[in-house]
Amino acid sequence: MEKRELLYSGKAKSVYTTDDPDYMVLEFRNDTSAFDGKKVEQLDRKGRINNLFNAFIMQKLSDAGIPTHFEKLLSDNEALVKKLDMIPLECVVRNLAAGSLVRRLGVEEGKELNPPTFELFLKNDALGDPMVNESHAATFGWASEAQIARMKELTFKVNEILKQMFLDGDMLLVDYKLEFGVFNGEVTLGDEFSPDGCRLWDKNTREKMDKDRFRQGLGGVVEGYEEAARRLGMDI
């Protein structure tokens, strides 16, 4: 598979075309950003650990029957993925209260949410990725009702799989976001699953092991990611 032209460069990843129109190369960079790009830094090893972390999680999800765009690792910071027709929505599941939920609703951080909540956000940097509902998504044509139902079903199935996996590593999966697209007519998990897009806490101390370490200036960002990977049994 030949890597060709740069198709898109986001906040932390770059996407390249290949000689096969159905596949792309996803490059994980060391760039780290928060607050809609207002805080940006380069963190050594971050691209590598996110690439390896994502590959590990995507493979576990694929083995459990979740359709994903991940095909294989190409290098320490590159992966081969299917080219999806992306749906411009983020699906967010929250198992514990944290982040924007605490700010919006005034609930205590760490409160267990039973059942877990499901939220949709429109992917639009100019608008600050606003929260939307399923009616908005269908009315404005961002996704069909069938696609929304499938994304919701898959998002909760991912939760069942990963909550236990992280718990086995003495970690709490606080919340996470997923993005989906369509490949050959099938709703398919895309983008990435790494500590950049989820919250992970130590089960006993509730120490943060995710991007909140960067957002909140706690330091040890990459070290937190690597510790989470080791607890999952990854060889990093």
pLDDT of 186 reads 98
pLDDT of 198 reads 98
Render pLDDT for 112-129 as a digit per residue (tens, 0 to 9).
999 999 999 999 989 999
pLDDT of 62 reads 98
Pair of tokens at residue 199: 């919250």
pLDDT of 110 reads 97
Q: What is the DSSP letter of 205?
A: T
Helices (H), 82-231: 100-105, 134-139, 145-168, 212-215, 221-231
Global confidence as pTM: 0.95
* Cis peptide, bond prior to residue 67, ω within 30 of zero: no
Spatial contact of 77 and 54, defined as CB atoms under 8 Å apart: no
pLDDT of 135 reads 97
- Classify domain 85-220 at the CATH superfamily level: ATP-grasp fold, B domain (3.30.470.20)
What stretch(es) of the chain map to CATH 3.30.470.20?
85-220
Task: Tell me the CATH number for domain 3-82.
Answer: 3.30.200.20
pLDDT in tens, the chain (236 residues): 899 999 999 999 999 999 999 999 999 999 998 887 678 899 999 999 999 999 999 999 999 999 999 999 999 999 999 999 999 999 999 999 999 999 999 999 999 999 999 999 999 989 999 999 999 999 999 999 999 999 999 999 999 999 999 999 999 999 999 999 999 999 999 999 999 999 999 999 999 999 999 999 999 999 999 999 999 999 98
Query: What is the rounded CA–CA span in Å between residue 148 and residue 199?
Result: 23
Render pLDDT for 134-160 as a digit per residue (tens, 0 to 9).
999 999 999 999 999 999 999 999 999
| DSSP structure string for 81-98 | EE--EEEEEEEEEEEE--
User: If 0-12 CB within 10 Å is exposed, 13-18 middle and 19+ buried, where does residue 220 land?
Assistant: middle
What stretch(es) of the chain map to CATH 3.30.200.20?
3-82
pLDDT of 227 reads 98
User: Residue 183: CA atoms inside 13 Å, Cβ hemisphere, count?
Assistant: 16
